[in-house]
């Protein structure tokens, strides 16, 4: 199983085009979205700049995009080519396949997050404590695995043609509800409550709690762990149950 994890990481690194766009996309998005924003402008009623808010939001959004889209589409294609059929004839358990796919996705998301944070500090003048940088990086990276697992599950229910639109749909819904596109504090109360139980919101809230100087909230971590178990479990089950002619 370790060989599979290693191979999945190696082949992701070898796919230069995929790596290039997935790694650079969040950084470019961050620069674009904060292009006209005053570096010192603060959020309403909070001691945090818009730029810092967007830095954390874009790091999360970018990591989510890379792992969700990347996994869903690549897996759907692998299924269509019959590789997954071949793999099912080995003693590999379902969790091994899902673990390997999450690991390879994490290889992509880590550098993409680092780039956004480096741009934030170097270009946009975001200033945070050392522990906050480290905690934001770690939370954003660890949290991205939830979406990698969702990507595996989508890759399993969808054909290669529809994997992208389906993951796009999930992605926009989760990003919007999570307040990754616009500051979450502007949302009405009922929507904030509802969104609190979606993976996108819990994910964004991890890094934001750190930004505001707190530890990540237990509830958000709990929500994410539940979604990870749900997505990864579904993905592993679908891997073993995939009885269609792939």
Task: Give the binding site for another protein (CB under 8 A).
Answer: 1-4, 7, 10-11, 14-15, 78, 80-86, 88-93, 240, 243
Cβ nearer to another protein, comparing 2 with 47? 2
Paired with 49 in beta bridges are 42
- Rounded Cα gap, residues 156 and 159, in angstroms: 8
Q: What is the 3-state secondary structure (H, E, C) of 150-167?
A: HHHHHHHHCCHHHHHHHH
The distance of closest approach from Cβ of residue 229 to another protein in the complex, given in angstroms and rounded to an integer, is 23
C-beta of residue 146 within 8 angstroms of C-beta of residue 64: no
The distance of closest approach from Cβ of residue 218 to another protein in the complex, given in angstroms and rounded to an integer, is 38
The distance of closest approach from Cβ of residue 75 to another protein in the complex, given in angstroms and rounded to an integer, is 12
The distance of closest approach from Cβ of residue 240 to another protein in the complex, given in angstroms and rounded to an integer, is 8
Cβ nearer to another protein, comparing 80 with 176? 80
**3-class DSSP assignment, residue 42:** strand
- Rounded Cα gap, residues 238 and 201, in angstroms: 26
Cβ nearer to another protein, comparing 1 with 46? 1
Cβ nearer to another protein, comparing 101 with 124? 101
Tokens 């379902």, residue? 94
Cβ nearer to another protein, comparing 78 with 220? 78
Cβ nearer to another protein, comparing 43 with 160? 160
The distance of closest approach from Cβ of residue 67 to another protein in the complex, given in angstroms and rounded to an integer, is 18
Cβ nearer to another protein, comparing 83 with 172? 83
C-beta of residue 8 within 8 angstroms of C-beta of residue 148: no
The distance of closest approach from Cβ of residue 100 to another protein in the complex, given in angstroms and rounded to an integer, is 10
Q: Is the dihedral of CA 27, 235, 75, 4 positive or negative?
A: positive
Per residue in 36-56, is it b (16+ CB within 10 Å) or e — as a string? eeeeeeebeeeebbbbbbbbb
Length of the chain: 246
Phi, psi of 42 (to 5 degrees): -105, 160
Nearest to 28 by CA among 58, 53, 57: 58
C-beta of residue 201 within 8 angstroms of C-beta of residue 184: yes
The distance of closest approach from Cβ of residue 225 to another protein in the complex, given in angstroms and rounded to an integer, is 28
């Amino acid at each position: 199983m370790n060989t599979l994890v290693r191979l999945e990481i190696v082949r992701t690194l070898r796919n230069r085009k995929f790596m290039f766009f997935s790694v650079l996309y969040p950084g470019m998005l961050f620069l674009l979205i904060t292009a006209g924003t005053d570096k010192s402008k603060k959020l309403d009623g909070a001691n945090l700049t818009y730029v810092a808010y967007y830095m954390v939001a874009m790091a999360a959004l970018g990591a989510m995009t890379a792992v969700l889209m990347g996994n869903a589409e690549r897996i759907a294609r692998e299924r269509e080519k019959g590789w997954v059929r071949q793999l099912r004839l080995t003693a590999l358990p379902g969790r091994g396949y899902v673990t390997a796919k999450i690991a390879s996705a994490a290889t992509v998301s880590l550098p993409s997050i680092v780039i956004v944070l480096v741009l934030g500090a170097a270009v946009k003048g975001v200033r945070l404590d050392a522990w906050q940088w480290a905690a934001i990086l770690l939370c954003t990276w660890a949290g991205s695995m939830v979406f990698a697992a969702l990507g595996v599950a989508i890759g399993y229910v969808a054909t290669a043609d529809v994997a992208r639109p389906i993951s796009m749909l999930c992605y926009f819904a989760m990003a919007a509800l999570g307040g990754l596109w616009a500051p979450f504090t502007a949302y009405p109360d009922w929507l904030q409550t509802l969104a609190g139980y979606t993976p996108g919101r819990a994910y964004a809230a991890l890094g934001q709690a750190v930004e505001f100087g707190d530890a990540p909230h237990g509830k958000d971590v709990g929500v994410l762990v539940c979604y990870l178990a749900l997505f990864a479990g579904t993905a592993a089950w679908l891997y073993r149950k995939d009885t269609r002619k792939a």
